[in-house]
Structure 1
Amino acid sequence: MVSREALAAVLRLARAGRGMSRDQLYAKIKTKIEPRHLQRLENAKTGVTLEMLGSIAEALSFDPIALLMVASSYDERLSIGERRADLKKEIQKLDALGIVADMPKHFSDGKLVKEKAGWSLPDSIIQEALKLRDKGFSQSETARELGIHQTTVGRIWRKAQD
């Protein structure tokens, strides 16, 4: 986790390291934010969106991930090398889950493919709910067995009939 305080310090230090005043940084940011908001960010009075961090990082000629890494290293009381090793392990976990390989499936023409609203259940739960129905289980018994809400079971069963 990156605290507001650590990120504020990194942003302040990065700006100072580039020899820029807050006004100069503000003028260089392409996606305009209020000057007061920039001051509040540097004093940990407000949070930052990813888009805003990206714009500030670009204006400072840094990668936003590098800024976050320095801040998180400080928060975790780790050296940059230790934090890099931790992040490498985390990325390997994401890769093992297939997230890295599946990323392109969630985009079309460079845009994120929208998902339907609501909670999506894994197919295995849906199939198990239908099997339990076929075995004569009630909706409440099926819900308890699968650890889902009874109304969800009812919705699964109704959809299967349609």
Structure 2
Amino acid sequence: MSVRTAFATALKVLRKKRGLTQEALSGNITQSHVSQIENGKTSPSLEAIIELARTMELSPVALMALVCAAQDELTASDVLELAKKDLQSISLLKVAIPLEVEAKPHPGVAAAAKTREKVQALKEKGFSQADIARELVMAESTVRRHWHRQD
């Protein structure tokens, strides 16, 4: 069974189980869009899936467990158990995922920052640009560039 068909089936079952009409499901989603989803004519976006689940007072995971169960001819319990094992196997079952991944500077940017720190430290000790170039074994033009930057 295709994912689109599985989603259509699961959505219809859930909507009827909750005693809701397509119109009642349509908060930020139009009734015609709900109808198209239930008839397998379109697939919902991630935002629509979350909106539909919340309108039915379910977690999006519960909705998707039913969709996956329908697609793979399993029970929702089987799907959730498999998901739990998958997350355990990669050590992410009991880990909160941060909203933003810590940005690491490009290696070239990090290297330039270290060079600038060295140049500025030697400048503060009274070294000339030529002395710093010899000390750090780099071109004087590179020293000049870092000499005048104060990031």
Q: Which structure 2 residues correspond to residues 39-58 of structure 1 after superposition, within 5 A?
A: 39-58=35-54
Cα drift, residue 38 of structure 1: 1.1
What TM-score do you get using the length of structure 2 for normalisation? Answer: 0.58
**CA distance in 2 between partners of 1:2 and 1:61 (Å):** 25
Q: Report the AA paired with residue 44 of structure 1.
A: G
1:84 equivalent to 2:71? Answer no
Structure 2 equivalent of residue 74 of structure 1: 70
Q: Is the CA contact (8 Å cut-off) linking 2:25 and 2:31 kept in structure 1?
A: no
| Unmatched segments (≥5 aa) in structure 1 | 124-162
Q: Which structure 2 residues correspond to residues 132-147 of structure 1 after superposition, within 5 A?
A: none
What TM-score do you get using the length of structure 1 for normalisation? Answer: 0.55
CA RMSD, aligned part only?
3.1
The change in CA–CA distance for 1:103 and 1:45 in structure 2 (over 3 A counts) is same
Structure 1 equivalent of residue 31 of structure 2: 35
Tell me which moved more, 16-25 or 1-10.
Answer: 1-10
Once the two structures are superposed, residues 33-87 of structure 1 have per-residue CA deviations (whole angstroms, 9 ceiling, x without a partner) of 2322111011111111111111111111111111110121121122333222211
Q: Is the CA contact (8 Å cut-off) linking 1:12 and 1:42 kept in structure 2?
A: yes
Once the two structures are superposed, residues 3-28 of structure 1 have per-residue CA deviations (whole angstroms, 9 ceiling, x without a partner) of 111111111111111111111222xx
Structure 1 equivalent of residue 120 of structure 2: none
Structure 2 equivalent of residue 19 of structure 1: 19
Query: Percent identity among equivalent residues?
Result: 24
Cα drift, residue 94 of structure 1: 3.1
Task: Count residues with an aligned counterpart.
Answer: 107
**CA distance in 1 between partners of 2:14 and 2:55 (Å):** 11
Partner secondary structure for residue 74 of structure 2: coil
Q: Report the AA paired with residue 72 of structure 1.
A: C
Q: Is the CA contact (8 Å cut-off) linking 2:25 and 2:55 kept in structure 1?
A: yes
Structure 2 equivalent of residue 103 of structure 1: 97
The change in CA–CA distance for 1:33 and 1:80 in structure 2 (over 3 A counts) is closer
Q: Report the AA paired with residue 88 of structure 2.
A: Q
Runs of 4+ deviating beyond 3 Å: 99-102, 112-116
Cα drift, residue 114 of structure 1: 7.6
Q: Report the AA paired with residue 3 of structure 1.
A: V
Q: Is the CA contact (8 Å cut-off) linking 1:2 and 1:71 kept in structure 2?
A: no
Partner secondary structure for residue 91 of structure 2: helix
**CA distance in 1 between partners of 2:55 and 2:7 (Å):** 16
| Unmatched segments (≥5 aa) in structure 2 | 108-151
